Structure 1
Amino acid sequence: MSTFDETIDSPPTTNGANANGTPLKETVINNASAAVNNIQNHPITQNVVNGPVATSIKNEAGATKDEFSDLASSRQTPAHTAANDTPLTHYHSFFYTLLTWKNKRATGITFLAAVALIFAFRYLPVLRYGLKITWTTLGVVTAAELASKLVTGSSVTSAVRPRKYYKIPKEFLETSLDDVENLINFFVIEAQRIVFAENVIVTAGAFFSALVSYYLIKLLPLWGFALFSTIVTFLAPLIYIENKELIDSQLEHLANVIGQQTNQIKDLTAEHTSKGFDTVKQYTGAYTAKAQDLVGNIGASRQKIPPPAVKEDAFPTAPKTEFPTSTLDTKVEQEPLLA
């Protein structure tokens, strides 16, 4: 029989000790310690703690921790820049690592946490719970402070009040503000890269997403639209990565078909344009020849018209003698001046 069973069978005496003379407090402590040791050394407990299930859980927890550390360390400014040499932020590499499922455990946990958060805000009154916790805490503190001052004349909160109130360290604030700045600039830069078609495929995908979202927002509530967007954002890259060869072959085939159709359209356009130029050239030549013939006929008809004959008696005979100077002067002097 174990020590625990012997202690149970030994009735305590009236002076706080059992039949063996051991104090009751020490006996209880020893019995509890022995019970804990028995539980820890039991084969079932050892199988649970050190068995394959526990080992697997420990390994998964360690791998998950390593992946989150790798995800956090991926926030490095990329070496490449935008098309106009604009430096990118470290969130470009972070979101690329997150959404490409490089660390599957970290990305999966982040995805499930985002979905759970959407459902929590949809089905749980989070704001009401927050307000309830706030007014309950403040009410208990107020009642305890008033009661202690009325009964004992002292403050109960002064006993638990810290010597100095907690302040956020400056280094943490600077790091946080730097992260917020990089996060905002990430969205600003990416929006401009999409608008100015730095990558045509990305711009086309953004156009398709905006078009689908425009119609979905009319059909789905806000939480449903947020859930749909989150699922597409996390699962679309995973589907592409898992079926990369098939999707790339289909995209290449589609690009070839579009290229062939584009070449046919170019050839037809060039052919019709050439025919149009030839037709215009023919009409232009015909009208030019007709215009030249018309101009030549007008010139020939003008040459056939004889010039009019000029007779000698058509003009008066010029005087052959000069007028006398004295006679002209006398006549001018005799003429009266006009008033």
Structure 2
Amino acid sequence: MASEQQSYPNLNPSNGNSSISNTAGNAMENAKSNAQSAMDSIKNHPTVQNIQNGPVADKARQEAYQTQSEFGNLAGARQTPSTQTATGQDLTHYHSFFYSLLSWENPRATAISYVTIVLFIFACRYVPLVRYGLRLTWMVLGITAAAEIAGRMVFDQGFASKLRPKKYYTIPRETLESTIDDALHFVNFFVIESQRIVFAENVYATVAAFFTALITYGLIKITPAWGLALLGITSAYFVPLGYITNKEFIDSHLSNAGNIIGQQTQQVRDLASQHTSKAMEASSNTLKTYSARASEMVGQTKQKAVEKNIVSPQTANNAESTVKGENFPEAPKSDLSGPDTTQAESARAEPVLEASY
């Protein structure tokens, strides 16, 4: 048996697996070296060098640097502003972030974000993302499983097992807490802004929100959801740009409109004040007229009572002395509410009753 094993060493399974593994390893090393040499030759080619060091490459590197710098400025704009709400509450750092984003302070970053959102809307509309996601999932899992099984059958070690990290990745607690805190600020941004609009902290913003809601209510019947989303994003990005471009012109017209509204409001106030004074004067004259009529009626009643010997002249004279102007209520001078009719009637009735006795 020993001689047979020495005569046929290739029949040993362990020797066969090791030779196959060595052959595969050598092939992979040769492929890597050939690919590296090909990449080096392409990189060192004169045409590639001219392209990399030419004006087009310099312009591309400059634009890339400026774009990166603008994204850094946009990220640095996430700071809590010094201004507060009308209730004295602090704003979130997303107020300054969205102000910097939508005011086009960093045009490249704003344009890239707008294009990204538009492409995402069109992708949701025309690309079956869920189906493609499921397809990518079963393809990746199938390739992984096939590579693992083939590796174990041929090399006694799967490819997926060989690529497995020593320690699986986990989300650090600090990262999770910062993400939750950032999400909380993001939600509170919309909550605070919606309340500021509803309670008219800025009248112009409330009016703009009113017209936006009204137009959306009309368009939702004829426009699909992706169309409304595209229209809303476009308006959110380009309406501030139009205002910034024509700021002086728009501010002057808004100032004129404010002056006109103020003048009209003052005229309405003056007119209301005039009508109020006229109404108060009319009520005062009416009360004086009724007071004179009441005095006249008391005098007539007294005279008839004396003529019919119901009361004596002395009693009638005492009743006349008690019926004076101070017994009647005065007309109001500042309040529009009418006088208390019950008190006036009681004041008028008491002298008459006294005279009848």
Shared fold by TM > 0.5? yes
Please, which of 286, 291, 298 is the counterpart of residue 283 of structure 1? Answer: 286
Structure 2 residue 105 is the aligned partner of structure 1 residue 106: no
Structure 2 residue 215 is the aligned partner of structure 1 residue 212: yes
Superposition map of 1:1-339 within 5 A: 37=44, 39-40=45-46, 42=47, 46=50, 48-149=51-152, 155-306=158-309
- Tell me the amino acid that sits aligned with residue 158 of structure 1: S
Separation in 1, partners of 2:183, 2:219 = 30
Separation in 2, partners of 1:176, 1:263 = 52
Aligned to 1:9: none
- Cα displacement (A) at 1:121: 0.9
- Cα displacement (A) at 1:140: 2.3
Separation in 2, partners of 1:276, 1:307 = 43
Unaligned runs of 5+ in 1: 1-25, 309-339
User: Cα distance 1:34–1:285, how it changes in 2: closer, same or farther (>3 A)?
Assistant: closer
- Tell me the amino acid that sits aligned with residue 193 of structure 2: E
Which whole-Å deviations, capped at 9, do the CAs of 1:155-199 have from their partners, x for residues lacking one? 443222222111122222222122111111211222222222222
1:219 aligns to what SS in structure 2? coil
2:220 aligns to what SS in structure 1? helix
Which whole-Å deviations, capped at 9, do the CAs of 1:42-71 have from their partners, x for residues lacking one? 5x952x433333222221111111110011
Which whole-Å deviations, capped at 9, do the CAs of 1:289-315 have from their partners, x for residues lacking one? 21221122112221222269xxxxxxx
Separation in 2, partners of 1:189, 1:30 = 60
Q: Which has the higher helix share?
A: 2
Q: Is the 8 A contact 2:74 2:97 kept in 1?
A: yes
Which whole-Å deviations, capped at 9, do the CAs of 1:117-139 have from their partners, x for residues lacking one? 11111111111111110111122
User: Cα distance 1:261–1:72, how it changes in 2: closer, same or farther (>3 A)?
Assistant: same
Of 128-137 and 191-200, more deviation after overlay is shown by 191-200
- Tell me the amino acid that sits aligned with residue 170 of structure 1: R
For normalisation by structure 1, the TM-score amounts to 0.74
Separation in 1, partners of 2:92, 2:182 = 10
Of 238-247 and 152-161, more deviation after overlay is shown by 152-161
- Tell me the amino acid that sits aligned with residue 84 of structure 2: T
* Structure label with greater radius of gyration: 1
Give the RMSD, CA atoms, in angstroms. Answer: 2.7
Unaligned runs of 5+ in 2: 1-32, 312-357
User: Cα distance 1:98–1:31, how it changes in 2: closer, same or farther (>3 A)?
Assistant: closer
1:183 aligns to what SS in structure 2? helix
Separation in 2, partners of 1:98, 1:182 = 17
Separation in 2, partners of 1:31, 1:94 = 47
Which whole-Å deviations, capped at 9, do the CAs of 1:100-148 have from their partners, x for residues lacking one? 1111111111111111111111111111111110111122223344455
Q: Is the 8 A contact 2:43 2:49 kept in 1?
A: no
